Amino acid sequence: MSHHVQYHLVRAVGWTLAVLGFGSAYLRTQLNMDTVLTTWMGHDQPTSGIVMGIVGLAVVVLASRLRLRHLAAG
């Protein structure tokens, strides 16, 4: 598997975590809706959703920086 594909997959995982995390927090707090994820997180929502979203964004940033570093190295 090429490095480009690996970075792309890691970024996709990061975006998925961010969307699920922030989305679940938004659904629970603003729309008063429950999904499997919000029900599973229980009373820790919205904090756990926000943390999950931040971790997802951190993964995206880290993967992007590593890819840029790899490209600069040649």
CA distance 43 to 56: 21
Burial of 32 (0-12, 13-18, 19+ CB in 10 A): exposed
CA distance 34 to 59: 26
pLDDT in tens, 22-63: 999 999 889 988 888 778 877 888 999 999 999 999 999 999
pLDDT for residue 49: 92
What does pTM read for this prediction? 0.85
Note whether 48 and 22 are within 8 A (CB).
no
pLDDT for residue 1: 73
- Across the range 2-27, mean pLDDT stands at 91
pLDDT for residue 30: 92
User: Does residue 5 have a pLDDT over 90?
Assistant: no
